[in-house]
Amino acid sequence: MFSSISAHVPPLLDAKSFSMLLPLVKSVLTDPGHAEPASVDSALKLLEQHVTLESVNTAAACANQYAGSWLLEILEQEDSLFSRAAKALSNLAESALAIDDKLEQVLQGLISGKNSVREATLESLDRLPDLEEGESPVNLLLGRLLWLAKCDVDESLADIADSLWHRYGHKL
């Protein structure tokens, strides 16, 4: 059903119009077992298009609805949608997230049992504007999870986490 709807949606919607579709996007992405694969792909594609720097208002609407947690659910499946979901998660972090309470929706990926999900999460955190500026606000959850990620069994992930930890610049 969603794929037939998305065929009639213009490439970029304004925030108000996109907010009307968000409940449907969430429904399709958080319960993919009950949706047609084409619908899940269409919903993810639509979300990916609306979490970019070019569409900051729709990206903010996605962050307000905790779309990062929906993307983590898709990443956990490690299927053909993984790379699109990882890109969308990175775009969401870059365009609409700050080091505040909404960041928690992405941080949960750091405690995944799957290396690929932890890597996608670290890569999305690498794109946080607050970390780019070097003057990050204090966020206890971010600090604790980055500290834990520095001890990841996968050395390449531990190295990424260590780099982020130094950019974050706060002690525990």
How many angstroms separate the most distant Cα atoms in the chain? 50
Domains in the chain: boundaries? 12-99
Tens of each residue's pLDDT in the chain, 172 residues: 555 555 555 678 888 989 999 999 999 999 867 788 888 999 999 999 999 999 999 999 999 999 999 999 999 999 999 999 999 999 999 999 998 889 999 999 999 999 999 999 999 999 999 886 667 888 999 999 999 999 999 999 999 999 999 999 887 7
Q: How far is residue 153's CA from residue 114's CA, in Å, rounded to a whole number?
A: 11
Q: What pTM did the predictor assign? A: 0.91
Q: Give 6's Cβ-side CA count (13 Å radius).
A: 21
CA distances from 21 to 26, 31, 50, 69, 126 (A): 9, 16, 11, 17, 29
Angle at 68 between CA 144 and CA 48, to 5 degrees: 140
